[in-house]
Amino acid sequence: MQKIVRQNGIFDTPAKSVLFFCLCTFFLLLNNFRGQAQEVSASVDTTTIKIGEQITYKLAVETSREDLVVFPEGQSFSPLEMIETFAIDTSEISDRYRLTREYALTQFDSGSYSIPRQRVLINDREFRTDSFSVVVNDVVVDTTKQKMFPIKPAVEVPPAFGVPTWLWWLLGLILLGIVAYLLYRSRKKRKEAAKQLPPYERALFELKQLDDSHLLEQREIKEYYSQLSAAVRRYLDGEIYDHALESTTNELITYLEAERDKGKLKLENTTISRLKEILERADLAKFANSKPDVLTAKEDRSSVENVIKDTKASIPQPTEEELLRDREYRERLERKRKVKKIIFGIVAVVLLISAGAAYLISTRGIEYFTDTYIGNSSKEMLESDWISSEYGTPSVTIATPDVLVRNIRDSVGMSQGKETFNFGSLDTNLFVSVSTRPASEDFDVEMAVEDVYAFLEANGAKNIITKQEGYETLNGAPGFKIFGTMSLQKDEKSQPVSKEYTILNFGMGEGFQQVVVIYNENDKYADEIAQRITTSVELINNSN
């Protein structure tokens, strides 16, 4: 018989020693394997809530530093509704990372629900969490203890700060009133200018009006002589001496005599003497209350007309140089008047356009006004006649605002032997690229997608967010869709532009087709264009 000796719980036989050594080695390896394993766990803070309350669903992942972890996105917690996703919390545990992400869930109908198992990707491995049962209770209202109140009437909530509509109308009316006043004043000035007569014709016209005034019959001698002297003084002011209206009688007569002595006026002494006599009599009538008889007044009126005619005849005719200077002066005045008319017309048009723009902005909004009247390239592109055509081999049928142009340099290059057709550029509101290539054994779809990202990053794309889902064209061709957002900055001096992108990938057996659409994120018309382009894609499988 074999002798067995037990010392401190350890068997001393050789067979037992070997067995014990193997067991220890196994448990050490198992413990080391567990230390390197990837662990995914899920928990909820409560399983019973009332309608509208929130459940905090927590996902925790322990993994190595090099692993790529993808948490659930979107409404994957149905029938519960995800109302908020919190940022990922990262903590270090020895040489490993612990990633934690929380989701806020709720439900607005009472009943029993089950939170489905969630999928977490770690590199290429898929992990599934446990499901949880949740009870959503009604909010019980005890009407015996809770006082009931009648339904309150609707209360009108004051709108946010904004310019009232009536203020825009008032501004428009004020502008229209200003335009109407300017038009009226301009028309009135034109009429007054048309009525204005040359000095000689005007003097005779005033004398005719004086004859028709019946001032002598009414014995208004003072007023009669006032108008008579004003008529002759106004004529002299316009033709000979531009201070005749404010000069005294002696000053005016002295000036006329001086001009006669210089040879500038060919007036007789009797004419000047007669004018002096009439003006002195008029001064006495106006300021000394003198009242000449009616016969003298009529004679003075005839003498004034003769003085005006004699003075008109005594003025030397202008020379050709004076006439030329006068003509140039009148032309300058005419040009100035035309410039004023043009400026006035422009101002009137600007005011009318401003009033119309204010009305449209107040009733339709600033966006409608800018898109309709100032112009929006994306809107014009959306409303234009689109072109549907086939591109590449195997062919892709797609509708675009304009024909795609073959790109020999292959700007979104994937591999050799492919064709690329582009529209627009990354700097514009819309960029479309269609690429096709025949099938080959060494072709890799993932590399084709990575080439697109490499192209974007080489052109200044940053913060690229990626999502993926299945896709099927209208004619049933299967594929997969990669989409998301990014920030595009051409250089350091330019401002970054937020972009959205969509990459459609298809493999029809005989080749590979790829459609890339990139557009500005905040352009609603570009978003409609992108949707219209992607839904128009058609592929024909000719392999069968």
pLDDT digits (tens, 9 = 90+) for 260-280: 888 888 888 888 899 999 999
- pLDDT-derived band at 414 (thresholds 50, 70, 90) equals very low
Give the 3-state secondary structure of residue 169.
helix
Give the Å distances, CA to CA, from 127 to 86, 258, 483. Answer: 21, 121, 24
DSSP secondary structure letter of residue 162: -
Distant-in-sequence, close-in-space partners of 120: CB < 8 Å, separation ≥ 6: 40, 59, 61, 69, 70, 71, 72, 126, 127, 128, 129
- pLDDT-derived band at 15 (thresholds 50, 70, 90) equals low
User: What b/e readout covers 186-211, taking b as 16+ CB neighbours within 10 angstroms?
Assistant: eeeeeeeeeeeeebbeebbebbeebe
* 98-112, 216-230, 355-369, range with the lowest pLDDT: 355-369
Tokens encoding 12 = 């001393």
pLDDT of 27 > 60? The answer is: no
pLDDT of 169 > 50? The answer is: yes
DSSP secondary structure letter of residue 508: -
Distance, CA of 507 to CA of 477 (rounded, Å): 9
Q: Which amino acid would we find at residue 511?
A: G
**Residue 56 has what pLDDT?**
93
Distance, CA of 538 to CA of 331 (rounded, Å): 72
Bridge partner list, 437 = 512
Average pLDDT score over residue span 85-110: 88
Distance, CA of 85 to CA of 212 (rounded, Å): 99
Distant-in-sequence, close-in-space partners of 385: CB < 8 Å, separation ≥ 6: none
Distance, CA of 404 to CA of 409 (rounded, Å): 15
pLDDT of 70 > 80? The answer is: yes
Tokens encoding 438 = 């025949």
The residue with tokens 């004003």 is 230
pLDDT of 44 > 90? The answer is: yes
- pLDDT-derived band at 38 (thresholds 50, 70, 90) equals low
pLDDT of 406 > 90? The answer is: no
Residues of the chain with pLDDT > 90: what percent?
12
The CA-based angle 528-530-534, given to 5 degrees, is 120
pLDDT of 202 > 80? The answer is: yes
Q: Would you tell me the crossing angle of helices 249-262 and 269-287 to the nearest 10 degrees? A: 170
pLDDT of 112 > 80? The answer is: yes
The residue with tokens 């499988």 is 541
**Residue 192 has what pLDDT?**
67
- pLDDT-derived band at 544 (thresholds 50, 70, 90) equals very low
Distance, CA of 534 to CA of 516 (rounded, Å): 9
Using alpha carbons only, how large is the chain's radius of gyration in Å?
Answer: 51
Strands 10-11 and 39-44: unpaired
Asked if 297 and 216 count as a contact pair (C-beta separation under 8 A), the reply is: yes
Distance, CA of 308 to CA of 418 (rounded, Å): 101
**Residue 45 has what pLDDT?**
92
pLDDT of 9 > 80? The answer is: no
pLDDT of 174 > 90? The answer is: no
pLDDT of 382 > 80? The answer is: yes
Residues in the chain, overall count:
544
**Residue 28 has what pLDDT?**
52
**Residue 475 has what pLDDT?**
79
> Of the spans 147-151, 174-178, 398-402, which averages the highest pLDDT?
398-402
Distance, CA of 279 to CA of 232 (rounded, Å): 9
Average pLDDT score over residue span 38-45: 87
Tokens encoding 39 = 């662990």
Average pLDDT score over residue span 381-386: 86
pLDDT of 4 > 70? The answer is: no
Distant-in-sequence, close-in-space partners of 310: CB < 8 Å, separation ≥ 6: 267, 268, 271
DSSP string for residues in 195-257: HPPPHHHHHHHHHHHHHTT-TTTTT-HHHHHHHHHHHHHHHHHHHT-TTTTTS-HHHHHHHHH
Give the Å distances, CA to CA, from 55 to 43, 82, 114, 486. Answer: 10, 9, 12, 32
Q: Which amino acid would we find at residue 301?
A: R
Looking at per-residue pLDDT, the higher value among 11 and 161 belongs to 161
Task: Name the pTM for this structure.
Answer: 0.41
pLDDT (tens digit, 9 = 90+) per residue, 487-535?
988 777 888 889 999 999 887 556 788 899 999 888 888 888 888 898 8
Averaged confidence pLDDT in the chain: 80
Phi and psi at residue 50, in whole multiples of 5°? -100, 165
pLDDT of 468 > 90? The answer is: no
